[in-house]
Copies of this chain bind each other. A is one copy, B any other.
Amino acid sequence: MHKKLFIPGPTEVLPEVLEAQTKPMFGHRMKEASELGTRVIEKLKKVLGTKQNVLYWTASGSLIMEASLRNSVKKGVLNTICGAFSERWYKMAKANGLPCGKIEVEWGKAIKPEMVDAELATGKYDVLCLTHNETSTGVMNPVEEIADMVHEKYPDVFILVDAVSSLTGARIDADKFDVVLTSTQKAVALPPGLSFCTVSDRFYERAATVENRGYYTDFLLMRKYAEERKGQTPSTPALSLLNALDHQLDRILEEGVEARYKRHSEMAAKVREWAGRHFELFPEKGYESETVTVVKNTKGISVADLNSKLAEKGLAIANGYGKQLKEKTFRIAHMGDLKPEDVDEVLGAIDEALGL
């Protein structure tokens, strides 16, 4: 039996979006592919409200994280760790032999402008990595505030943002950053396999001065194909997923981006209110995520058992992330095309299962 997904990605995908993957195949160098790629890029720009360039990749969002590091870091990259996914930036810098440093806060806390300021002041860094929505802890970091501080005090530092589990579900002003990236299987509500990002002009200029950007990860090669071959990519893209994205972007534009944010806020408010009544919120107050709520398991329930009971009703939430938070927390995601009534359904089912 299918389980309706209240996990922080992959999210529920509507039947009509799944169906959009079934169009007959065509060549990735044919006019159809250029038109599709161009259309998708234009719609993405509208949805993200960006004046910047947009690129799409056939890969998970991790690939763009790694690519953006390989295309920009020279002196050093500052990683801001507040959970498992923000830590991924750091692991990637290490895995690519890039000079790096880090700030770490206790899981559940947010990264604040003053912490970043203190570390950038050392002068050791030319790139800063941020995580908009830390999926493991349910913390939404104040990335715009951090960007304002950086632009004022360290205007030459490039800012890369992982917005994998937030983009299109929570507001972010992409044009304040050099790269803002996401995958499609989160708030965009598509099957996984595609990812995309905004790119500042100065990021491309920077990339042109960086050695060993790689091939699949080369932002300049990606831009060259997007421009000269009109919406195409250097190697064959996931065409069936692009068809689905094309369809889903129409849906998002039809709903309206503001309405989409509002719907996410409403769902988040419901889950927070419920969690506050029965448990506690895990994230630091004021930094709760708009797309996934992480609940502290103050009652010591068995999350695994709860999920088994929910499964019988065709529902799934997520256990806490990794060894550190499993069973100590649980996560209810409210992103993508889920509606407030879906949230009511899952909360009601949890109440029933736990006798709340």
Residues of A at the B interface (CB closer than 8 Å) are 2-3, 5, 7, 9-13, 15, 18-19, 21-28, 30, 58-63, 66, 88, 91-92, 95-97, 183, 185, 191-194, 211-216, 218, 234-241, 316, 318
* Complex CA–CA separation, A185 to B95 (angstroms): 30
Most buried by B among A5, A58, A88, A237: A58
How many subunits of this chain does the assembly comprise?
2
Q: Indicate which residue in B3, B24, B241 contacts A2 across the interface (CB closer than 8 Å).
A: B24
Contact (A59, B59) CB under 8 Å given A212-B95, A236-B10: yes
Contact (A191, B21) CB under 8 Å given A183-B236, A216-B63, A238-B241: yes
A13 to chain B, nearest CB (A): 5
Q: Which 6 A-B pairs have the closest CB atoms?
A: A193-B238, A60-B235, A191-B240, A97-B212, A2-B24, A18-B22
Question: Contact: A27 with B2, CB < 8 Å?
Answer: no
Question: Contact: A237 with B58, CB < 8 Å?
Answer: no
* Complex CA–CA separation, A24 to B264 (angstroms): 22
* Complex CA–CA separation, A292 to B223 (angstroms): 30
Interface of A is mostly: loop
Closest to A336 in B: B25
Closest to A216 in B: B63
Interfacial chain B residues near A27, Cβ < 8 Å: 5, 7, 10, 316, 318
Interfacial chain B residues near A10, Cβ < 8 Å: 25-28, 236, 239
Closest to A238 in B: B193
Between A and B, 16 residue pairs with Cβ closer than 8 Å are: A5-B26, A7-B27, A19-B22, A21-B191, A22-B22, A58-B59, A58-B60, A58-B193, A62-B235, A88-B215, A91-B215, A193-B194, A193-B238, A193-B239, A214-B214, A240-B240
Q: Indicate which residue in B18, B63, B191 contacts A238 across the interface (CB closer than 8 Å).
A: B191
* Complex CA–CA separation, A241 to B237 (angstroms): 13
Closest to A234 in B: B62
Contact (A25, B191) CB under 8 Å given A97-B211, A211-B97, A216-B59: yes
Interfacial chain B residues near A318, Cβ < 8 Å: 27
Interfacial chain B residues near A22, Cβ < 8 Å: 15, 18-19, 21-22
Question: Contact: A185 with B66, CB < 8 Å?
Answer: no
Contact (A13, B5) CB under 8 Å given A59-B59, A63-B216: no
